[in-house]
Amino acid sequence: MRNPMKTSAAILAGLLIALSLAACGGGSSGGDDKAGSGASCPTSALDKVTAPVKITMWHAMNRANEEALVRLTKQYNESQSKVEVTLINQTGYRESLEKFRAGLTSGDLPNLVQIEDSGTQQMIDTQAILPAQVCIDATKYDTSDFIPRVLGYYSVKGDLQPMPFNVSNPILYFDKNGFRAAGLDPENPPKTLEEVRAAAVKLQASGYKYGWGQKLDPWYLEQWSAKAGVLYANNENGRAERASAVTFDNATGLEIFTWMQAMVKDGLAVTNSASGTAGFNNLLGIRSKDVGMTIDTSAALGTIQQVIESGESGGAEIGVGPMPGPAGKGGVLVGGGALYIVKKGSAPAQQLASFDFAKWLNSPEIQADWSASTGYVPTRKSAVDVAILKNKWIADPEFKVAYDQLINGANNSATAGPVIGAYQAVRDAVLKAQEKLFLEGLSPAKALKEAKTGADAAIKEYNLRIGG
């Protein structure tokens, strides 16, 4: 996508770097071994410590999100004397997972690690983590206040694997001023794919180069399948048994690929890469009047607010709406990341300290602060009654959109999302098919078939390799 305001766009790109993020050995000292394949929670490991137990947490937050995490971690360290947390930024989710996997051999591992939502099966397969459920059961930690869909996403066969932390989901971003100029109601943005296309026609007619910004991102197929209430992988999305094949080669998948290709082919949409600085062109395009609307993560809100307050909004008034998509009785997937307690290389006291910090980050007051500061969805239902978040939602109702669409979505295997060991390889196969869809004119049916063939091969290879 071309941007005529190169200098300002470069500034904005720097500010928006965070938006793409915006997803064991060691002993024990007693506790419960439920859910952990023999693992137990060292429930008494902090009882007699005489100095703070030092733990490191690898994270993938940047800009406004990192600022909030640093502030909250400092607050935790100062609130008690048994644990001291040091944060280490790994710059991104993919980098964090790759470094963690390398550390399984080198021994360079953290005590707590933030991993993207798609990494659940891989983290389980490392056998390097202490499932959160083990300590939850051993300490009788009450999870009834958590949003059920959040717990459901990170649970496999009923056992919570990581502790939830930064929950997001995709939302519609648009320029309210642009909507008004095009004769569209900014308080009633499009909710279906058909309505998106109709709005894109009006936006383009009113002066935008394109009505819709379409990332080359496999995420769309995952999210829109869930929105339609359709499974993405077999074996109940890999939650009843390990996934052995994808199932997105269905009527919904064909509808999604057909719609996306038509939008680009008809000149109503422009594509951009989902990686690097180009991954933000769909958002930058709203400001520069290149793009009238797009979909991106709700975790972008805090950083976008920084941009607007810095005077770099270019006259755009950012509007937010629920993610439009195919018809169905589903809901958006839980996005973002979660915190895995590392067992390998962590002493019992460090394992319990990691659980303590993760619990603290999930307290209603801290989740309210975190949500108000970043745009992430709170993990706890009672967090919405905390003053800082209540006031934020009154002042900026856009911050509440992601929460509302999450709690209003269905809670089933389709919306719980796929648990796939070869998740990144599956996404790579979908991305390759999307590129052919847009750049080579491959038919939606053939592109979908190629995506399935590549994805199934990746899943088979992974399962054979790990013996699943």
Mean pLDDT across the stretch 245-274?
96
pLDDT tens track for 282-293: 888 888 889 999
Which positions ≥6 away from 131 have C-beta within 8 Å? Answer: 35, 36, 39, 159, 160, 161, 341
**Pair 41, 189 in one domain:** no
Categorize the per-residue pLDDT at 16 as very low, low, confident or very high, splitting at 50, 70 and 90.
very low
This prediction's pTM: 0.86
For residue 454, tell me if it sits in a domain.
Answer: yes
Name the region of 391 (left: φ>0; alpha: ψ -120 to 50; beta: rest): alpha
What is the rounded CA–CA span in Å between residue 22 and residue 17?
9
pLDDT at 15: 47
348, two tokens: 């019992």
With contact defined as beta carbons under 8 Å apart, do 199 and 394 qualify?
Answer: no
pLDDT at 316: 80
**Pair 339, 433 in one domain:** no
pLDDT at 286: 85
Report helix, strand or coil for 36.
coil
Asked if residue 25 has pLDDT above 50, the reply is no
Which positions ≥6 away from 263 have C-beta within 8 Å? Answer: 197, 200, 212, 214, 269
With contact defined as beta carbons under 8 Å apart, do 442 and 258 qualify?
Answer: no
**Pair 342, 400 in one domain:** yes
With contact defined as beta carbons under 8 Å apart, do 420 and 233 qualify?
Answer: yes
Mean pLDDT across the stretch 203-229?
95
Which parts of 193-289 are beta strand (E)? 210-216, 269-273
The DSSP string of 309-337 is: HTT-STT--EEEEEPPB-SSS--PPPEEE
Q: What percent of the chain has pLDDT over 70?
A: 89
Higher pLDDT, 339 or 62: 339
**Pair 44, 157 in one domain:** yes
What is the rounded CA–CA span in Å between residue 229 and residue 195?
20
Higher pLDDT, 322 or 286: 322
With contact defined as beta carbons under 8 Å apart, do 265 and 200 qualify?
Answer: no
**Pair 158, 191 in one domain:** no
Alpha helices in 33-175 (DSSP H): 63-79, 93-106, 120-126, 132-139, 148-153
Interstrand relation of 159-160 and 155-156 (parallel, antiparallel or unpaired): antiparallel
Mean pLDDT across the stretch 167-183?
94
For residue 77, tell me if it sits in a domain.
Answer: yes
**Pair 395, 430 in one domain:** no
What is the rounded CA–CA span in Å between residue 404 and residue 320?
12
For residue 103, tell me if it sits in a domain.
Answer: yes
Nearest to 333 by CA among 341, 345, 323: 323
Distance between terminal CA atoms of the chain?
43
Which positions ≥6 away from 380 have C-beta within 8 Å? Answer: 145, 146, 147, 362, 363, 364, 367
**Pair 308, 388 in one domain:** no
**Pair 342, 314 in one domain:** no
Burial zone of 125 (CB within 10 Å; 0-12 exposed, 13-18 middle, 19+ buried): middle
What is the rounded CA–CA span in Å between residue 449 and residue 429?
10
pLDDT at 307: 62
For residue 438, tell me if it sits in a domain.
Answer: yes
Q: Which phi and psi (to 5°) does residue 174 adopt?
A: -155, 165
Last residue of some domain: 407, 432, 458? 407
**Pair 108, 147 in one domain:** yes
For residue 249, tell me if it sits in a domain.
Answer: yes
With contact defined as beta carbons under 8 Å apart, do 164 and 146 qualify?
Answer: yes
Categorize the per-residue pLDDT at 204 as very low, low, confident or very high, splitting at 50, 70 and 90.
very high
Nearest to 335 by CA among 113, 90, 171: 171
- Domain containing 309: what range? 6-14+169-332+416-466
For residue 347, tell me if it sits in a domain.
Answer: yes
For residue 1, tell me if it sits in a domain.
Answer: no
Instruction: Tell me the CATH number at 362.
Output: 3.40.190.10
pLDDT at 180: 96
**Pair 319, 378 in one domain:** no
What is the rounded CA–CA span in Å between residue 444 and residue 434?
9
Query: What's the number of domains the chain is made of?
Result: 2
**Pair 308, 374 in one domain:** no
Nearest to 74 by CA among 340, 361, 338, 346: 361
pLDDT at 211: 97
Report helix, strand or coil for 212.
strand
168, two tokens: 């997001």
- Token look-up 């500010």 returns 15
**Pair 442, 327 in one domain:** yes
Nearest to 336 by CA among 360, 302, 311, 309: 302
pLDDT tens track for 122-166: 999 999 999 999 999 999 999 999 999 999 999 998 999 999 999
Categorize the per-residue pLDDT at 331 as very low, low, confident or very high, splitting at 50, 70 and 90.
very high
Categorize the per-residue pLDDT at 9 as very low, low, confident or very high, splitting at 50, 70 and 90.
very low
Q: Strand order of the sheet with strand 269-273?
A: 269-273, 210-216, 291-297, 170-175, 318-322
